[in-house]
Structure 1
Amino acid sequence: MTNTTHAVRSGLFAALALLTVGASAPDRTSAAHSDWLYVSLTRGDARSFDTRGTLLLCDPPQGHGRAAQACAQLRETGGDITRIPHEHAICAQIYAPVRATAQGRWNGRPITYEQTFANGCVMTARTGAVFALSD
Protein backbone atom coordinates (compact mmCIF):
# COMPACT_ATOMS: atom_id res chain seq x y z
CA MET A 1 0.00 0.00 0.00
CA THR A 2 1.44 3.38 -0.94
CA ASN A 3 1.79 6.25 1.50
CA THR A 4 -0.89 8.22 -0.38
CA THR A 5 -3.38 5.36 -0.22
CA HIS A 6 -2.61 4.82 3.47
CA ALA A 7 -3.02 8.55 4.17
CA VAL A 8 -6.36 8.67 2.32
CA ARG A 9 -7.71 5.66 4.19
CA SER A 10 -6.43 6.98 7.52
CA GLY A 11 -8.09 10.34 6.83
CA LEU A 12 -11.38 8.63 5.96
CA PHE A 13 -11.34 6.57 9.13
CA ALA A 14 -10.51 9.64 11.23
CA ALA A 15 -13.33 11.61 9.62
CA LEU A 16 -15.80 8.78 10.16
CA ALA A 17 -14.69 8.53 13.78
CA LEU A 18 -15.37 12.24 14.23
CA LEU A 19 -18.80 11.83 12.66
CA THR A 20 -19.53 8.92 14.98
CA VAL A 21 -18.49 10.96 18.01
CA GLY A 22 -20.62 13.86 16.78
CA ALA A 23 -23.60 11.56 16.29
CA SER A 24 -23.37 10.41 19.89
CA ALA A 25 -23.36 13.97 21.22
CA PRO A 26 -26.55 15.27 22.88
CA ASP A 27 -27.72 17.13 19.76
CA ARG A 28 -28.30 14.07 17.56
CA THR A 29 -30.76 15.82 15.25
CA SER A 30 -28.21 18.01 13.49
CA ALA A 31 -25.55 15.26 13.31
CA ALA A 32 -28.01 12.72 11.93
CA HIS A 33 -29.09 15.05 9.13
CA SER A 34 -25.60 16.17 8.10
CA ASP A 35 -24.96 15.75 4.40
CA TRP A 36 -21.49 14.46 3.57
CA LEU A 37 -19.64 12.44 0.97
CA TYR A 38 -16.13 11.02 0.87
CA VAL A 39 -15.18 11.67 -2.75
CA SER A 40 -12.11 10.19 -4.43
CA LEU A 41 -10.47 10.07 -7.84
CA THR A 42 -8.23 7.40 -9.27
CA ARG A 43 -6.33 8.30 -12.41
CA GLY A 44 -5.13 5.59 -14.77
CA ASP A 45 -6.12 1.97 -15.16
CA ALA A 46 -7.48 -0.37 -12.50
CA ARG A 47 -3.95 -1.17 -11.26
CA SER A 48 -3.18 2.48 -10.60
CA PHE A 49 -2.42 3.73 -7.12
CA ASP A 50 -2.86 7.40 -8.06
CA THR A 51 -5.85 7.93 -5.78
CA ARG A 52 -6.71 11.03 -3.82
CA GLY A 53 -9.82 12.04 -1.99
CA THR A 54 -11.43 14.30 0.54
CA LEU A 55 -14.43 14.51 2.83
CA LEU A 56 -17.03 16.89 1.37
CA LEU A 57 -19.18 18.33 4.14
CA CYS A 58 -22.25 20.38 3.29
CA ASP A 59 -23.44 21.74 6.65
CA PRO A 60 -21.60 24.19 6.17
CA PRO A 61 -19.88 23.51 2.82
CA GLN A 62 -16.23 22.54 3.21
CA GLY A 63 -13.79 19.91 2.04
CA HIS A 64 -12.35 21.24 -1.17
CA GLY A 65 -12.05 24.46 -3.18
CA ARG A 66 -15.51 24.22 -4.76
CA ALA A 67 -17.40 22.75 -1.81
CA ALA A 68 -20.14 25.41 -1.84
CA GLN A 69 -20.88 24.81 -5.53
CA ALA A 70 -20.71 21.00 -5.13
CA CYS A 71 -23.11 21.10 -2.17
CA ALA A 72 -25.51 23.36 -4.06
CA GLN A 73 -25.51 20.96 -7.03
CA LEU A 74 -26.11 18.00 -4.72
CA ARG A 75 -28.95 19.82 -2.93
CA GLU A 76 -30.65 20.45 -6.29
CA THR A 77 -30.55 16.72 -7.08
CA GLY A 78 -31.30 15.33 -3.63
CA GLY A 79 -27.75 13.99 -3.40
CA ASP A 80 -27.98 12.05 -6.67
CA ILE A 81 -24.75 12.70 -8.60
CA THR A 82 -26.22 11.10 -11.74
CA ARG A 83 -28.90 13.83 -11.87
CA ILE A 84 -26.46 16.77 -11.92
CA PRO A 85 -27.15 18.58 -15.21
CA HIS A 86 -24.44 17.88 -17.78
CA GLU A 87 -22.41 20.89 -18.83
CA HIS A 88 -21.82 21.50 -22.52
CA ALA A 89 -18.09 20.98 -22.95
CA ILE A 90 -15.74 20.26 -25.78
CA CYS A 91 -13.46 17.54 -24.47
CA ALA A 92 -10.46 16.12 -26.29
CA GLN A 93 -10.87 12.53 -27.37
CA ILE A 94 -7.86 11.43 -25.38
CA TYR A 95 -8.24 8.31 -23.29
CA ALA A 96 -6.90 9.10 -19.83
CA PRO A 97 -9.33 7.20 -17.55
CA VAL A 98 -10.40 8.59 -14.23
CA ARG A 99 -12.57 6.71 -11.75
CA ALA A 100 -14.77 8.84 -9.51
CA THR A 101 -16.21 7.34 -6.33
CA ALA A 102 -18.34 8.77 -3.56
CA GLN A 103 -19.71 7.27 -0.36
CA GLY A 104 -21.61 9.00 2.38
CA ARG A 105 -25.02 10.14 3.54
CA TRP A 106 -27.49 12.61 2.10
CA ASN A 107 -30.80 13.46 3.79
CA GLY A 108 -30.22 10.46 6.06
CA ARG A 109 -29.84 8.05 3.11
CA PRO A 110 -26.64 6.19 2.25
CA ILE A 111 -25.03 7.33 -1.01
CA THR A 112 -22.72 5.19 -3.13
CA TYR A 113 -21.44 6.28 -6.53
CA GLU A 114 -18.74 4.91 -8.82
CA GLN A 115 -18.13 5.73 -12.46
CA THR A 116 -15.11 5.60 -14.78
CA PHE A 117 -14.87 8.40 -17.32
CA ALA A 118 -12.70 8.59 -20.46
CA ASN A 119 -10.89 11.64 -19.05
CA GLY A 120 -11.17 14.43 -16.49
CA CYS A 121 -12.94 16.81 -18.85
CA VAL A 122 -15.79 14.34 -19.44
CA MET A 123 -16.01 13.67 -15.70
CA THR A 124 -16.29 17.38 -14.86
CA ALA A 125 -18.91 17.92 -17.57
CA ARG A 126 -21.05 15.16 -16.06
CA THR A 127 -20.48 15.59 -12.32
CA GLY A 128 -20.07 19.35 -11.90
CA ALA A 129 -18.01 20.45 -8.92
CA VAL A 130 -18.45 17.31 -6.80
CA PHE A 131 -15.10 15.79 -7.83
CA ALA A 132 -13.26 19.11 -8.26
CA LEU A 133 -10.34 18.13 -6.04
CA SER A 134 -7.36 20.44 -6.15
CA ASP A 135 -4.03 19.06 -7.36
Structure 2
Amino acid sequence: MTYITRAAAAAGALLTAVGLLTAGPAQATSGAAIPGNWLYLTIDRGDARSSDGSGTLLLCNPPAGHRHATEACSELTSAGGDIGRIPAEKVFCTMIYAPVTVHARGRWNGRSVDFKETYTSACVMKARTGHVFAVDG
Protein backbone atom coordinates (compact mmCIF):
# COMPACT_ATOMS: atom_id res chain seq x y z
CA MET A 1 0.00 0.00 0.00
CA THR A 2 1.37 3.41 -0.90
CA TYR A 3 0.82 6.38 1.38
CA ILE A 4 1.10 9.83 -0.12
CA THR A 5 1.91 12.72 2.19
CA ARG A 6 0.90 16.29 1.43
CA ALA A 7 4.54 17.13 0.68
CA ALA A 8 4.85 14.21 -1.75
CA ALA A 9 1.55 15.12 -3.42
CA ALA A 10 2.65 18.76 -3.76
CA ALA A 11 6.03 17.67 -5.12
CA GLY A 12 4.28 15.38 -7.62
CA ALA A 13 2.02 18.24 -8.71
CA LEU A 14 5.08 20.46 -9.10
CA LEU A 15 6.83 17.79 -11.18
CA THR A 16 3.75 17.43 -13.38
CA ALA A 17 3.49 21.19 -13.86
CA VAL A 18 7.18 21.43 -14.69
CA GLY A 19 6.78 18.61 -17.20
CA LEU A 20 3.89 20.42 -18.89
CA LEU A 21 5.76 23.71 -18.95
CA THR A 22 8.90 22.20 -20.45
CA ALA A 23 7.02 20.23 -23.12
CA GLY A 24 7.42 23.06 -25.65
CA PRO A 25 10.20 23.55 -28.21
CA ALA A 26 13.73 22.52 -27.20
CA GLN A 27 15.02 26.09 -27.24
CA ALA A 28 12.36 27.12 -24.68
CA THR A 29 13.50 24.68 -22.00
CA SER A 30 15.83 25.89 -19.28
CA GLY A 31 17.50 22.59 -18.35
CA ALA A 32 16.99 21.52 -14.76
CA ALA A 33 13.54 22.73 -13.72
CA ILE A 34 13.85 21.41 -10.17
CA PRO A 35 17.11 22.52 -8.56
CA GLY A 36 19.46 19.99 -6.99
CA ASN A 37 19.44 16.23 -7.15
CA TRP A 38 16.05 14.54 -7.45
CA LEU A 39 14.44 11.36 -8.75
CA TYR A 40 10.82 10.48 -9.48
CA LEU A 41 10.45 6.85 -8.37
CA THR A 42 7.80 4.32 -9.41
CA ILE A 43 7.37 0.70 -8.37
CA ASP A 44 5.09 -1.63 -10.30
CA ARG A 45 4.32 -4.98 -8.68
CA GLY A 46 3.61 -7.95 -10.88
CA ASP A 47 3.46 -7.49 -14.63
CA ALA A 48 5.24 -4.25 -15.58
CA ARG A 49 2.30 -3.36 -17.84
CA SER A 50 -0.04 -3.05 -14.85
CA SER A 51 1.15 0.36 -13.67
CA ASP A 52 -1.04 2.29 -11.25
CA GLY A 53 0.59 5.57 -12.29
CA SER A 54 1.67 6.63 -8.80
CA GLY A 55 5.15 7.44 -7.62
CA THR A 56 7.31 9.28 -5.15
CA LEU A 57 9.54 12.29 -5.65
CA LEU A 58 12.88 11.83 -3.86
CA LEU A 59 14.61 15.14 -3.19
CA CYS A 60 18.19 15.22 -1.94
CA ASN A 61 18.85 18.90 -1.18
CA PRO A 62 17.68 18.49 1.64
CA PRO A 63 16.62 14.81 1.73
CA ALA A 64 12.83 14.47 1.50
CA GLY A 65 10.21 12.39 -0.25
CA HIS A 66 9.99 9.16 1.68
CA ARG A 67 10.80 7.67 5.06
CA HIS A 68 14.38 6.65 4.12
CA ALA A 69 15.27 9.71 2.04
CA THR A 70 18.44 10.49 4.04
CA GLU A 71 19.81 6.97 3.56
CA ALA A 72 18.75 6.86 -0.11
CA CYS A 73 20.43 10.20 -0.87
CA SER A 74 23.60 9.07 0.92
CA GLU A 75 23.71 5.83 -1.10
CA LEU A 76 23.10 7.71 -4.33
CA THR A 77 25.84 10.22 -3.50
CA SER A 78 28.31 7.38 -2.86
CA ALA A 79 27.31 5.79 -6.21
CA GLY A 80 27.54 9.05 -8.16
CA GLY A 81 23.79 9.02 -8.76
CA ASP A 82 23.94 5.65 -10.55
CA ILE A 83 21.46 3.27 -8.88
CA GLY A 84 23.14 0.32 -10.60
CA ARG A 85 26.38 1.11 -8.73
CA ILE A 86 24.82 0.90 -5.24
CA PRO A 87 26.58 -2.05 -3.55
CA ALA A 88 24.27 -5.06 -3.23
CA GLU A 89 23.44 -6.25 0.27
CA LYS A 90 24.09 -9.89 1.11
CA VAL A 91 20.67 -11.10 2.20
CA PHE A 92 18.67 -14.30 1.86
CA CYS A 93 15.51 -13.90 -0.19
CA THR A 94 12.87 -16.56 -0.71
CA MET A 95 12.71 -18.02 -4.19
CA ILE A 96 9.08 -17.01 -4.67
CA TYR A 97 8.65 -15.25 -7.99
CA ALA A 98 6.81 -11.98 -7.35
CA PRO A 99 8.31 -9.52 -9.86
CA VAL A 100 8.65 -5.80 -9.26
CA THR A 101 9.67 -3.25 -11.87
CA VAL A 102 11.26 -0.03 -10.67
CA HIS A 103 11.78 3.16 -12.62
CA ALA A 104 13.69 6.28 -11.59
CA ARG A 105 13.71 9.43 -13.70
CA GLY A 106 15.28 12.73 -12.75
CA ARG A 107 18.52 14.70 -12.48
CA TRP A 108 21.71 14.04 -10.57
CA ASN A 109 24.64 16.47 -10.60
CA GLY A 110 23.26 18.14 -13.72
CA ARG A 111 22.78 15.00 -15.80
CA SER A 112 19.62 13.08 -16.63
CA VAL A 113 18.88 9.80 -14.87
CA ASP A 114 16.64 7.14 -16.38
CA PHE A 115 16.92 3.80 -14.56
CA LYS A 116 14.50 0.92 -15.14
CA GLU A 117 14.90 -2.65 -13.91
CA THR A 118 12.71 -5.66 -13.11
CA TYR A 119 13.63 -7.80 -10.10
CA THR A 120 12.28 -11.23 -9.20
CA SER A 121 10.94 -10.00 -5.83
CA ALA A 122 10.79 -6.97 -3.54
CA CYS A 123 13.50 -8.59 -1.40
CA VAL A 124 15.91 -8.75 -4.35
CA MET A 125 14.98 -5.17 -5.30
CA LYS A 126 15.81 -3.94 -1.79
CA ALA A 127 19.11 -5.88 -1.77
CA ARG A 128 20.17 -4.34 -5.11
CA THR A 129 18.90 -0.76 -4.72
CA GLY A 130 19.38 -0.07 -1.02
CA HIS A 131 16.97 2.51 0.37
CA VAL A 132 16.21 4.27 -2.92
CA PHE A 133 12.95 2.40 -3.59
CA ALA A 134 12.12 1.80 0.11
CA VAL A 135 9.14 4.14 -0.17
CA ASP A 136 6.79 2.08 2.02
CA GLY A 137 7.06 2.21 5.80
What's the TM-score once normalised by structure 2's chain length?
Answer: 0.76
1:35·1:59 contact (CA, 8 Å) conserved in 2?
yes
Q: 1:36 to 1:64 in 2, by over 3 A?
A: same
The equivalent residue for 1:49 is 51
The answer for unaligned runs of 5 or more in structure 1 is 1-7, 22-27
Could you tell me whether the CA contact under 8 Å between 1:32 and 1:108 is conserved in 2?
no
User: Secondary structure of 1:131's partner?
Assistant: coil
Query: CA offset at residue 13 of structure 1?
Result: 5.1
| Structure 2 residue aligned with 1:72 | 74
Tell me how many residue pairs correspond in the alignment: 119
Structure 2 stretches of 5 or more lacking a match? 1-7, 22-29
Aligned to 1:106: 108
Going from structure 1 to structure 2, the CA distance change for 1:20 and 1:46 (only over 3 Å counts) comes to closer
How many Å separate the matches in 1 of 2:20 and 2:51?
28
CA distance, structure 1, for counterparts of residue 89 and residue 34 of structure 2: 32
State yes or no: 1:134 paired with 2:136: yes
Q: How many percent identity over aligned positions?
A: 49
Letter in 2 for 1:61: P
Structure 1 segments (4+ residues) deviating >6 Å = none
Question: Would you tell me which structure has more helix in proportion to its own residues?
Answer: 1
Q: What's the TM-score, normalizing by structure 1?
A: 0.77
CA distance in 2 between partners of 1:108 and 1:69 (Å): 21
Matched residue SS, 1:103 = strand
Supply the RMSD in Å over aligned alpha carbons: 2.8
2:124 is matched with which residue? 122
Separation in structure 1 between the aligned mates of residue 81 and residue 20 of structure 2, nearest angstrom: 21
1:34 partner SS: coil
